Amino acid sequence: MRSNHEICLSFLFFLFKFSFLLFSLSGVCILAYNTIGSTVDADGFLQEPFFLIPIGWLLFLGGLGVGDYCNVQKLYEAALMPRFQGGLSF
């Protein structure tokens, strides 16, 4: 049976991977926006994939928030568990 400490570490690792996924998707949105580009149609309207900009920012900020949560939890656990009891090391 897994201890609470092991469950907490596996959850933090999952959140770390999720944060990395959000950052990666943010980069994909920005790259897609730059790759698709903008054009002006025959009627004079600007055609661009503007929706990718706010989605990219939301994914970036989400990744930042999840990453910060992981760091705070890691610091909190390191402060609660002395090193000789198997606490997280930096």
Interval 39-59: pLDDT, tens: 999 999 999 999 999 999 999
- Residue 81 is predicted with a pLDDT of 66
Alpha-carbon torsion (60, 61, 64, 66), positive or negative: negative
pLDDT at 84: 52
Q: Assign residue 28 a region: left if phi > 0, alpha if psi is -120 to 50, beta otherwise?
A: alpha
Which DSSP string corresponds to 15-35?
HHHHHHHHHHHHHHHHHHHHH
What the block records as the tokens of 72 is 């705070």
Domain assignments of the chain as residue spans, ordered by start: 4-82
Please identify every stretch of the chain with a pLDDT value under 50, giving residue numbers as ranges: none
